[in-house]
Structure 1
Amino acid sequence: MKGPWTADIVEPRFARLREKVGLQYTLHDLRHFYASGLIAAGCDVVTVQRAMGHKDATTTLNTYSHLWPKAEDRTRKASAAMFR
């Protein structure tokens, strides 16, 4: 295949493969899985934005902000680490 792998090319092929093997996840699901993994690994907003190809960080935050630890979570974790 010549040229870039665009959604128009990849999605139909992936759909056929999904049907053949009984996979229930879509490419969009895998995209969310990837972003979630980056966030869980501690990547910052701009890093995730760039990895996902979002135009700006607002898109990334609107979609994934619930996955980043809250300030309270970080405070509890830091406090617990002090007493180990």
Structure 2
Amino acid sequence: MMKRIALLWNVVKGDARVLWHALRQPERPVWLVPATALVALYALDPFNIAMPLAGVVDDGIIVPLLLHVMVRCLPAHMRRA
């Protein structure tokens, strides 16, 4: 179980680095800034306070999945960086 969590964390870190680099590029896709803002708002959703366990599990699955999908939708030259 801990190996899977560590693997997921490494994937999320890598995806976050790629997205951070892509956000700083002037030729970034138009959808990238709003999509990143929506994922950040989803991760900080107040619903997590009302139901802490469900919110953590939810964020642990959906947010990394959304980050990975966003990275996969980036142009190839931005994914390599």
Which is richer in helix? Answer: 2
| Bigger relative CO (Cα 8 Å, ≥ 6 apart) | 2
Max radius of gyration: which structure?
Answer: 1
TM-score (norm 2): 0.31
TM-score (norm 1): 0.30
